[in-house]
Amino acid sequence: MSKPSDELRTRLLAEAEASIERMLADERMGKQMIISEIEDVIGELETVFRERVLSEVMSEQEKETISCPD
């Protein structure tokens, strides 16, 4: 049986790989771009990645939360 941290690591790595794939598939990446255009592409991906990582971490913490039955 794997540890919860191993499962989280696997999900986070999958998110990182998906972000990289989205970047490589972005049609803007196939042309010459100035630095601000590159920053725009990466910034958009960063926002999505950050939201997904935040969601994964919060979900993991919710699993570990123990509530009082009273």
Q: Is 21 exposed, middle or buried (0-12, 13-18, 19+ CB in 10 A)?
A: exposed
The one-letter code for the residue type at 53 is: V
Number of domains within the chain: 1
pLDDT on residue 4: 74
pTM score > 0.85 for this model?
no
Confidence of residue 3 (pLDDT cuts 50, 70, 90): confident
Q: Which domain holds residue 34?
A: 4-54
Query: Domain for residue 61, yes or no?
Result: no
Query: Domain for residue 59, yes or no?
Result: no
Give CA–CA dist 14/3, Å, rounded: 17
pLDDT digits (tens, 9 = 90+) for 11-70: 999 999 999 999 999 888 888 999 999 999 999 999 999 999 999 999 888 877 666 666
pLDDT on residue 61: 85
pLDDT digits (tens, 9 = 90+) for 45-62: 999 999 999 999 998 888
